[in-house]
């Protein structure tokens, strides 16, 4: 509990202005941190976390529609939970408005997947599907469908999950690639990036939990188990995972470790995979507290990482505390309370 609250308090009391730890804007980096804070509130009941989230939403809600992108949808995952708890109409309106944009107007790749759009001014992501999208958009859409009873949102999330699994999965490695280029018909540098696999396993479990039955559910479940087997295969002796999962020369990366451990634990708890797989998560969870400093910073987290040209480029990505490192670690530790 002590480590969990340190990690969350670092986010709510921080005054950072740098991209990696600045929670006061509407984008994916704050979005992952916010959802970690929400889970800490759920398991601790500490009102300071709820107050922070409602204050943040009151301040930043009007920013939701300024830049409509995949990445900037991420805060809606927490805003939807606040809507569920409070019934505040303004929260619900933003959730439904953005969900309709995503469903009807957000750019698609030639393969039908959501194009991974970002708030930064780049044009190099055309026709690209990234694993990140499942967390930034699809958990929110699946939960909105469940909460509202409007199946169109659930079906959208399920369809995107199936497409991302189809195009990013590698059966031989039992891992997911970082991304797929629909124009080039390849995985670009072909890297099994650690955080991509964390986004995928956590999102798969959460979408399955919200979606109920659908025609492809059996196949998704089979691939989930195969993925967990693959993660166990590539887990390191120290219990951690590399920023490139199948490369022993890649550094340990803690946001990937936290997301993977949390995804596996929640898959077991939800009855989606057998309890024997829990040991993979436990091996990581034992190590996580060693990477939280006295100020609550989660260490050994890679900064923002686009799809890079080579494995060597991934290995050179700098390490620094980030809100998504804090958020994913909070999610993992919250499961242990």
Each residue of 55-106: pLDDT tens digit?
Answer: 999 999 999 999 899 999 999 999 999 999 999 999 999 999 999 999 999 9
Dihedral-angle region of residue 258 (phi above 0 means left; psi in -120 to 50 means alpha; beta otherwise):
alpha
Number of Cβ within 10 Å of residue 198's Cβ equals 31
Contacts of 17 (CB under 8 A, 6+ apart): none
- Residue 101: what pLDDT? 97
- Residue 154: what pLDDT? 98
Annotated domain spans of the chain: 2-334
The arithmetic mean of pLDDT across residues 159-182, rounded, is 98
DSSP assignments along 225-286, one per residue: HHHHHHHHHH--TTS--BSBTT-TTSPB-HHHHHHHHHHHHHHHHTTSS-GGGHHHHHHHHT
Number of residues that this document lists for the chain: 337
Residues paired with residue 170 on neighbouring β-strands, in sequence order: 175
Min mean pLDDT across 30-39, 111-120, 149-158, 199-208 is at 111-120
- Residue 121: what pLDDT? 75
Q: What would the pLDDT profile of 245-301 be if each residue is shown by its tens digit?
A: 999 999 999 999 999 999 999 999 999 999 999 999 999 999 999 999 999 999 999
Average pLDDT of the chain is 97
- Residue 319: what pLDDT? 98
- Residue 294: what pLDDT? 96
CA 139, CA 61: separation in Å to the nearest integer? 19
Contacts of 131 (CB under 8 A, 6+ apart): 164, 168, 176, 177, 178, 179, 193, 196, 197, 199, 200
pLDDT at 220 over 80: yes
pLDDT at 124 over 90: no
Look up the pTM and report it.
Answer: 0.98
pLDDT at 122 over 80: no
Q: What would the pLDDT profile of 138-156 be if each residue is shown by its tens digit?
A: 999 999 999 999 999 999 9
- Residue 166: what pLDDT? 98
CA 232, CA 280: separation in Å to the nearest integer? 6
The arithmetic mean of pLDDT across residues 226-249, rounded, is 98
pLDDT at 10 over 90: yes
Question: Which pLDDT band holds residue 123 (cuts at 50, 70, 90)?
Answer: low
Question: Which pLDDT band holds residue 324 (cuts at 50, 70, 90)?
Answer: very high
CA 318, CA 327: separation in Å to the nearest integer? 19
CATH 3.40.50.150, applies to 2-334: no
- Residue 177: what pLDDT? 98
The arithmetic mean of pLDDT across residues 305-333, rounded, is 98
């Amino acid at each position: 509990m002590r480590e969990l609250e340190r990690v969350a308090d670092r986010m709510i009391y921080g005054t950072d202005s740098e991209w990696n730890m600045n929670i006061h804007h509407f984008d994916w980096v704050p979005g992952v941190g916010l959802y970690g804070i929400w889970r800490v509130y759920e398991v601790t009941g500490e009102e300071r976390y709820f107050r922070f989230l409602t204050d943040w939403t009151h301040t930043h809600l009007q920013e939701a529609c300024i830049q409509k992108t995949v990445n900037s949808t991420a805060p809606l995952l927490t805003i939807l939970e606040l809507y569920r708890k409070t019934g505040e109409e303004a929260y619900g309106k933003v959730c439904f408005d953005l969900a309709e944009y995503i469903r009807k107007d957000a750019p698609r790749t030639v393969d039908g997947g959501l194009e991974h759009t970002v708030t930064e001014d780049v044009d190099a992501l055309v026709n690209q599907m990234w694993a990140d999208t499942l967390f930034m958009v699809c958990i929110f859409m699946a939960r909105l469908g469940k909460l509202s009873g409007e199946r169109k949102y659930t079906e959208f999330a399920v369809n995107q999950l199936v497409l991302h699994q189809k195009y990013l999965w590698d059966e031989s490695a039992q891992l997911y690639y970082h991304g797929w280029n629909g124009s080039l018909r390849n995985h670009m540098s072909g890297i099994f990036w650690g955080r991509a696999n964390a986004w995928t396993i956590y999102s798969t479990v959460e979408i399955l939990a919200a979606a109920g039955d659908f025609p492809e559910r059996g196949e998704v479940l089979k691939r989930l188990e195969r993925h967990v087997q693959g993660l166990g295969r590539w887990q390191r002796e120290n219990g951690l995972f590399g920023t490139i999962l199948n490369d022993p020369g890649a550094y340990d990366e803690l946001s990937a470790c936290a997301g993977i451990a949390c995804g596996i634990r929640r898959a077991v708890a939800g009855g989606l995979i057998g309890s024997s797989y829990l040991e993979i998560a436990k091996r990581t969870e034992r190590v996580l507290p060693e990477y939280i400093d006295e100020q609550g910073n989660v260490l050994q987290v890679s900064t923002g990482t686009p799809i890079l040209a080579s494995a060597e480029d991934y290995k050179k990505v700098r390490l620094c505390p980030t809100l998504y490192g804090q958020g994913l670690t909070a999610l993992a530790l919250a499961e242990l309370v």
